[in-house]
Amino acid sequence: MLQTASVARSNGPLGRLLLETGITHILAPLDEASSKAKTPCLAKREQKNSRRLPQPRPVREETSP
């Protein structure tokens, strides 16, 4: 499956180059791996956010005597 992705200057040097040549949209594969690809900035932000979230505690099973 393919999806249309818009190109922005914030996509870095490649985004700027594509926009300069008149390309505003590209076809990109639509799958979990590519849609969850993390830029270094996003990965860092998610790492910060995960520190704030309470970590789940392991559930103890009560044993009856």
Quick: pLDDT tens for 34-64. Answer: 455 555 666 666 666 666 656 667 777 777 6
Number of domains in the chain: 1
User: For residue 59, is it within any domain?
Assistant: no
Cα first-last separation, the chain: 56
Residues 19-33 have pLDDT tens digits of 888 988 888 776 555
Instruction: State which residues form the domain around 17.
Output: 2-52
User: Nearest-5° angle of CA 48, CA 52, CA 56?
Assistant: 120
User: For residue 27, is it within any domain?
Assistant: yes
User: For residue 46, is it within any domain?
Assistant: yes
* Cβ within 8 Å of residue 2, ≥6 positions away: 27, 28, 29, 30
User: For residue 65, is it within any domain?
Assistant: no
User: For residue 29, is it within any domain?
Assistant: yes
* Cβ within 8 Å of residue 40, ≥6 positions away: none
The whole model's pTM is what? 0.37
